[in-house]
Amino acid sequence: MSRLSLVICALVGAMFGQGSPKTPASTPLKVYSYPSDGFAVKFPYAPEPHLDSIHLDFKVWTIHLSQRASISIRLKVDPDLPCDAALEQLKGMANVPIREFTVSGRPAWEEEPWRRGDSMVFERYVCGTGRYYLLTLGWPASESRPQRGVEIMDSFRLVK
């Protein structure tokens, strides 16, 4: 699981280095369902899923909220490692307070937002069946947390 931390660091850095957002903040959110990936979420547009450039076993969807703020959903399918066990390992690595709750009846937890350089990071982990999801919201530390990013995270649901 220590590689996951490296992946998160690299991907958060990559999120902030990308160009302008595709849509203005006023674009309404619409439900997009990805049944083969086990989730539905509200996005302002349909992102193109892609494989993580470092760990090819992660599938990633990224939405740009502004020039320097974005949200990514990462999916890791691992039928050999129960999601509950993976989350326990991740919780053991957390350096900030966490909050536990459920999403669609499955275990989930999130970390308090934390600072990385000139950026803030807010992460949420959700257990699926034979898979887990990592939702990461990143924004400049000089700005407030984008409410639109929180709305997207809160809309995340598991589907069958």
- Residues near 7 by Cβ (< 8 Å), separated by ≥ 6? 52, 54, 55, 58, 74
pTM over 0.95: no
- Could you read off the pLDDT of 69-84 as tens digits, one per residue? 999 999 999 878 777 7
For the record, the structure tokens of 62 come out as: 């990224």
The tens digit of pLDDT for each residue in 104-152 reads 999 998 989 999 999 999 999 999 888 889 999 999 999 999 999 999 9
2-16+50-158 CATH, one of 2.60.40, 3.40.1000, 3.40.50, 1.10.8: 3.40.1000
| Rg of the chain on CA atoms, in Å | 15
CA distances from 155 to 13, 32, 94, 128, 148 (A): 24, 10, 24, 15, 11
Contact assessment for residue 131 and residue 83, using Cβ atoms and an 8 Å cutoff: yes
The structural domains of the chain, with segments of one domain joined by +, span 2-16+50-158
